[in-house]
Each structure stands twice: as C-alpha cells, then as structure tokens.
Amino acid sequence: MKSTDPGVKTEGGVWRIANGILEIAVSPAGGLVHLRDLKSGHTFAVQPAGSPVWNAALRDTEGKTRTIAPEGPCRIAHRESGELAELTLSWAGESLGATVRVSLARNSPVSEWHITVENNTEDALWEVCFPRVGGLGKIAGDGDGDRLAVPFLWGAGIPNPVDLICQGKLKTPATDFSEYSSADSGAQARPGIAYSYPGMMTMQLLAYYHPERAGIYFGAHDPHANFKRFGAYGETGGESIDLVMLNFPEERVQGGLNYWMPYPTMVGVFAGEWWKATEIYREWAIGQEWCKKGPLRQRKDIPAWIKEVDLWYWNYTSKYWVYHSPEEIVPALKDLQKRMDTGVCIHWYEWNDWPFNQNIPESFPMTYQWKARLAKGLEELHQAGIHAIPYTNARLWDSTTEAYRTQGGPESVVLNEKGRPRPWGRPGSNSGTWLTMCPYARPYQEKIKRLMREIVEEAGMDGAYLDQITSSFTLPCFVAEHGHPRGGGNSWYSGYRQMMDGIRATLNTKHPDVIWTSEDVIECYLDLFDTNLSRHAAELNNRYGDGWLPIPMFHSVYHDYAMTYGTVQTLDQPFPDAYYFGEALVMTGGSQPMVCGYFAHHVGTDAFSDYLGYLERLVKARKRARNYLTYGRWLPPVAMEAQEVDVKWSDQARPKRTPAVLSTCWGDEAGSVGIVMVNHTGEEQKVRYSFRAADYGLPAGELVLLELAPEGEKVVAAGLSADFQREESIGPRQPRVFMVRPA
C-alpha cells in the first residue's frame, strides 16, 4: 500500500485512519484522540483518553430534556479499498445506541462523518450533537496568530479564539431577540458562540487555523439546507475550545423515533489562510441546486440592467429614514447618476409614506395624494434609466392588524414546542406584536405573493426588497398543520423556495425586468434572488474583540454566482476614516457600492464633497473593472507589503489596525487576473507586491501587466516573468485596477 492510499491501522488500542494528508486517531472507547495534518506534522485536539464525538438529548412528555453520552463499550470495525478507508464505531447503549462512520478517500484533505442513533426509549430524540471535535488548544504560541473564520454574514475573521471564547469576550449576536435566537440551547452555560443555518450562518463551515502552521476544516455538505447549528465552545478560564455541530431530527416531539443523518459532515485539514478552507468548500458548493442556473455571466433570468448597476442609493442616514419623499429623492438620484456616470438603483424605505414597518408586512393602501406623487417620481426616474425597489418584510406579520386576523396570520405563525409564538423585537420596543411566520405555511406564502404583485403592478416598482429572508435565523416550527415535520428538517429552506419560485414564476414571466433582493447573503437561496444587500461588508465593531475585521468568505466561494450591494457607512457619520475604509472594503470585496444620506437639498452644494469625490472614483473604477468585480471569480490576494494605519471608528473603542492599501484579485473567463487596490488614507502610499502565475492558474511564460485607467487600458509593463515583484504608488484615497495576462 502506498503512503497516500487511505488505510486503517491499530496500535496500542488506538485506531488510526489516514491517507498521507490527514490522520484521525480514535481511542478504544470511540473517542477522538487527535487530528493530524501529515504534511505539516501539526497535531490538533490531543486527548490521550479520547474526546466523545457525539452526544444526544432526549425530551420527555413533560418537556424535560436530558443529555445522553455514549454508553457502554464501543465496537470498532474497518474496511479498506484502494480508494477509500472507513472506520465504523458502534455503541449499544441502554437509552441510545449509535453508529458512527468515518470515511477517508484517496488524496482528500477532509474526512466524511455520518451518524445514526437508535432510540431505545419512549422519549423524543430532541437533538444530536455530532461531530464534536474537542480539546482544540492554541495552534501556535500565545494564540495571537490563530484565527477562527466564520461565515457570519459576509464573513468574520476572529483573532485568538481560544482566549476570546474562554475569557467570555465573544458574544453571539441575538439578532432575532427570541428564545431561539442564535444561542445554542445545548450549551448556554459554556462560553462560546453558535450560529443557526439557514440564517446569518451563510455557509456550512468553520475554519480554525494559523496561516503559517495548519488549519481545521469543520463543516456540513448538506444539499438540502436542513436546520442545524455550528458552535465553538470553551470553559471559563480554559485553554481549549470544542467545535460542535447540533443536528435536529425532523420530528422532534414524537417519542421513540430513531435518527439517520441525511447529510455528511466533514472534518479535515488545510494549510494557509482561511480561503484555503473555502476552496475546499467551493468544490462541493457550486454543484448544488442553488448554483445550477450557472455563473452570473450565464444567467439569462437576471435582468441585464441590474448587472450594470455600479451604485446603489439608500435613503438612510445615521438618524434612520429622515427623508423618503420623491421630491427629496429623485433629484438626488439624478444628480448621482450624472456625476457617477453609471447605472443607479434605489433601495427605498418608507416609500409608501408609512412609518417604517407600520402594519408589517402591509404596504397598501397609500393616500391618493401620495400615490400620485410616487407615480410622478417613478416616471421621472424611469425616464432617466434609474430603477427603484421598495422595502418590504417577508418574515414577520403585525398581529394587531385586520389583515393578520383575516388573511391567514394565525394559521401561519411559527409556534415553538410549547405552542407559543415567536415575537421579534428588542425588549421594551413596540415590535413585540410582530410575529415570525412559518415560510412553509401556504396562507403566508400567498400573502407575500399578493404583496409582490401589488408592488410591481399597482405601485410600478422594479421589484422588491424582501427583508430578513436571507438573514434572520431559522426558528424551528412545531405546527403539524403547516405540512412539515415538527421542529427539524428543511422546512425553512423549502418553504421560502416554494414562495420565491411562485413569485418568480408568476411575476417574472409577465415582467422579466423586475428583480428580487433580500437582507444579507446566504447560499441556499442564491438562485431565487437577483442580488442581496450585504451592507455588513463595511461594518466595524467589536463583536469579536478588538482585532476582528470582515473577511469576504462568502464571495470567495460564490462571487461569480451572486451579486451583492450595500454599506453601513452613511455620509453624515462622524468618523471619516471609517467611511473611507468601509467603502474600500466594499470595493475590494466585490460588492456594488452604495451612497446613504444624500438628498435634494444637498444637490448643488459642497455637502459631503470629499466623501462623494472618493465614492465617484471607486464607482468609476468599478465600472471599468466590471468584468472582474461583477462577473469574476474571487482569487487570493497578492502578497503585498503596505504601511499599517489605525482607523478610528468609535469614541468608545480602540481604532482598527489595517493596511493603508487594500487589495483583492479576480479571475475572468479568458484566464486573465484582475488586481484591485484601494488606498483609503489621505496620503500617497507605496506598496510592494509579489505575483506568482502558478498561484492563479496562468501558464508559464512571459506576462504583461496592464492598468484599467480612467483614460483607458494601458500597458504598465511587458515581458514580465511568471513570478514577478513590483512597486506601485497609489494616490490619496484612490483606486487602481490592474490586469495580468499572458503576453
């Protein structure tokens, strides 16, 4: 047997499955002893006695739960072929029996894990914790170079996760503000973080790594987007964390049922930065249902006009939606269109002259006077080639409204296992009457379909923004009358898919140029929405400690399959450096930029002139680079040396430390590589970077470097070797776009 062939051996009672890249060691009791990256030699999760890889919770008829760990001895079997090796771990417990399969293929850096659980009780199988990779200590030294990459929203790079988690400094965002927010119900007493999927966990993986040592890939390759939770936990004052996946049986309240995991979970290793983990994920991801319509460049069902938008407009300021009238918005949009010389679209809040989310999700009726003003404004926008989509909500329903009572609200509401609804809203707010609707419930699906028809055919809009579909957390629904299993499965995913398929089949057939968008991003609805608001790409806060920054995890997998737009930076915000840095993140991340807080009374004045001048330069550079920044595949950035600067974003927190010049790389169908650089500081910056053709799939031979400059495409250097280094100067708050291709 070759060293790279997958195989199994046992020594001293410890079983090892390996393939020359990855080794997994299991104790006689079936616990995880370690994971080892055989190329780097780094060993993770060293637990000589073995750490349990699963447990499960049972729920009795009174609603009390108890956790069951593996019971009794573990029977271990194995099989091998030239292409695959497999370990089978079996427990015949009194309460729960379980069988775990761990398989490893030739040349694969990841192993596939699967579990079945036999329920020998009359209680309901409530949740299954599997796999559990325990005892992950710091990878190198004091942990300052360690990172946990989480696809929360756009993506988050969390520094020194062991210390941050074990010191209790990481807080899981409870965006839903319900008892089932993002908190992991099975581990609330432990410090850590947890994320629901589908929800603000936008892809199904975590990556714990040190870029110069080794990394762990921890994920699920679930093509049906079943409800699950990913978590990272520690002990207060501890020195290690556990990576945990919580899985939920479809029928969670019926006693005596067994569980068979309907998707594989993946545990493996990678070397390098976080994007080496997303490269593994992409190999699987782009073959799933949500990518089957093909890359964005090939999508004929997405209107051409939205692909040519390089600037979005949001009538949002730091004081929220102060101005919403056509008289304030239309002149501002036309001025921006002329100044930026590109396609523009408005993301319009309070478009119907109602206070934000009044009678949610209702949008009609409008007064006669307002309807006439809106129609006039839309006509003027459309004549100028400007498009408009309004805000709506497709997840909540105000339970105080007549429509809720008469159009199927009570029949559609999400109820938990105790029969209680799930209000959305911060404690003390007036949104406690907004109830979360089950997307699988037919009355709610029909309600949203009718609303979308009214918005397009009666209001004359160019589509709609359906808030919260692609962002807010899945809430397990226990209403059998909705037609889905109680508490688990993929009813959230399949329900919204039914809803959006119905909307597209009805309205896009009659109105092929309308678009649909939602809040934030998520993989499993990519084919249902034409673009998505990804404003958190520019977000700066201390959710994950002082050192974290957004990272484009989602775009590293899906950029050539999905468009995004937006920012959290407003023109009236008080921290200029944060504005310039935030918009550089948007630009280099591959999203369509957005302007927030510009109105008719600003037109013709010097208000926000520095911000708008900077934004104009970014937008025009993006237009020149549309081949990459709209259609291109995200590629790893070049190795670059640049000055480090501090970005002040708050009076209450330390500045963010960041390179003065941000850069990203992009690939196109012709095989060229685009390099986008943005200097977000007020001083000229010099950078030195290295380019290796092999890293980007370019053939050996001479290369030519061009710049997509304002005056046109120009040659910067010809006859470059396949591996070259260059130094560039970038002016204050300026973008530069380069292209590398074979000579």
Write down the pLDDT at residue 652. Answer: 87
Residues 374, 228 share a domain: no
* 168: pLDDT strictly greater than 90: no
Mean pLDDT calculated for residue range 307-331: 92
Write down the pLDDT at residue 189. Answer: 59
Q: What is the pLDDT of residues 491-504, one digit of tens each?
A: 999 999 999 999 99
Q: What is the pLDDT of residues 339-396, one digit of tens each?
A: 999 999 999 999 999 998 889 999 999 999 999 999 999 999 999 999 999 999 999 9
* 324: pLDDT strictly greater than 60: yes
**Pair of tokens at residue 272:** 């390098």
- Strands 531-533 vs 564-565: parallel, antiparallel or unpaired: parallel
423/431 Cα distance (integer angstroms): 8
Residues 577, 479 share a domain: no
pLDDT tier at 175 (50, 70, 90 boundaries)?
A: very low
Residues 319, 412 share a domain: yes
Rg (CA), the chain: 26
Residue type, 591: S
21/4 Cα distance (integer angstroms): 7
- 646 in any annotated domain: yes
**Pair of tokens at residue 443:** 């009355």
- 254 in any annotated domain: yes
- CATH number of the domain enclosing 639: 2.60.40.1180
Q: What is the pLDDT of residues 38-74, one digit of tens each?
A: 999 999 988 888 999 999 999 999 999 999 999 889 9
**Pair of tokens at residue 298:** 């090939």
Residues 86, 144 share a domain: yes
Report residue 672 CA to chain centroid gap: 27
- CB count within 10 Å of CB 605 equals 8
Q: Which of 529, 532, 548 is nearest to 540 (CA)?
A: 548
Mean pLDDT calculated for residue range 696-724: 96
686/682 Cα distance (integer angstroms): 13
Coil, strand or helix at 13: coil
Write down the pLDDT at residue 178. Answer: 39
- CATH number of the domain enclosing 186: 2.70.98.10
Write down the pLDDT at residue 173. Answer: 52
Write down the pLDDT at residue 176. Answer: 40
Find the range with the poorest average confidence among 1-5, 319-323, 496-500, 545-549.
1-5
Write down the pLDDT at residue 186. Answer: 43
- 47 in any annotated domain: yes
Question: What DSSP line would sit under 353-408, residue for residue?
Answer: SSPTTTTTT---PPPHHHHHHHHHHHHHHHHTT-EEEEEEESSEEETTSHHHHHTT
- 2 in any annotated domain: no
Residues 380, 267 share a domain: no
Which of 164 and 16 is assigned the larger pLDDT?
Answer: 16
Q: What is the pLDDT of residues 597-654, one digit of tens each?
A: 999 999 999 999 999 999 999 999 999 999 999 999 999 999 999 999 999 998 888 8
Write down the pLDDT at residue 323. Answer: 92
Write down the pLDDT at residue 222. Answer: 98
* 425: pLDDT strictly greater than 70: no
Q: Which of 384, 503, 498 is nearest to 440 (CA)?
A: 498
Write down the pLDDT at residue 422. Answer: 82
* 179: pLDDT strictly greater than 50: no
pLDDT tier at 549 (50, 70, 90 boundaries)?
A: confident
* 183: pLDDT strictly greater than 60: no
**Pair of tokens at residue 254:** 């019926």
- 266 in any annotated domain: yes
Residues 552, 489 share a domain: no
- 1 in any annotated domain: no
220/225 Cα distance (integer angstroms): 10
- 550 in any annotated domain: yes
**Pair of tokens at residue 590:** 């591959």
Q: What is the pLDDT of residues 429-442, one digit of tens each?
A: 556 789 999 999 99
* 742: pLDDT strictly greater than 60: yes
Residues 377, 438 share a domain: yes
- CB count within 10 Å of CB 301 equals 11
Mean pLDDT calculated for residue range 725-740: 98
Q: What is the pLDDT of residues 228-271, one digit of tens each?
A: 999 898 888 899 999 999 999 999 999 999 999 999 999 999 99
- Structural domain containing residue 96: 7-285
- Strands 96-105 vs 110-119: parallel, antiparallel or unpaired: antiparallel
Mean pLDDT of the chain: 93
- The backbone region for 577, taken as left when phi is positive above 0, alpha when psi lies in -120 to 50, beta otherwise, is alpha
* Contact indicator for 583, 565 with CB cutoff of 8 Å: no
165/170 Cα distance (integer angstroms): 6
* Contact indicator for 44, 216 with CB cutoff of 8 Å: yes
Residues 352, 275 share a domain: no
Give the strand order in the sheet containing 685-692.
Answer: 639-641, 685-692, 723-730
Residue type, 170: L
Write down the pLDDT at residue 471. Answer: 86
- CATH number of the domain enclosing 401: 3.20.20.70
- 293 in any annotated domain: no
Write down the pLDDT at residue 3. Answer: 66
The residue assigned the tokens 């002149």 is 331
Residues 515, 435 share a domain: yes
Instruction: Cite the DSSP H helix spans in 55-123.
Output: none
141/164 Cα distance (integer angstroms): 15
Reported as type and span, the H/E element at residue 113 is strand 110-119
* Contact indicator for 218, 465 with CB cutoff of 8 Å: no
* 182: pLDDT strictly greater than 70: no
Residues 495, 440 share a domain: yes
Instruction: Cite the DSSP H helix spans in 625-693.
Output: 626-629
Residues 340, 248 share a domain: no
Write down the pLDDT at residue 177. Answer: 38
629/625 Cα distance (integer angstroms): 6
Residues 235, 150 share a domain: yes
* 181: pLDDT strictly greater than 70: no
420/477 Cα distance (integer angstroms): 10
Mean pLDDT calculated for residue range 652-672: 94
**Pair of tokens at residue 387:** 């498009």
Q: Which of 582, 599, 605 is nearest to 348 (CA)?
A: 599
Cis peptide before 659 (omega within 30 of 0): no
The structural domain count of the chain equals 3
Q: Which of 286, 345, 259 is nearest to 310 (CA)?
A: 345
Where is the domain boundary, 285, 317, 346?
285
Reported as type and span, the H/E element at residue 88 is strand 84-92
Coil, strand or helix at 176: coil
Write down the pLDDT at residue 185. Answer: 37
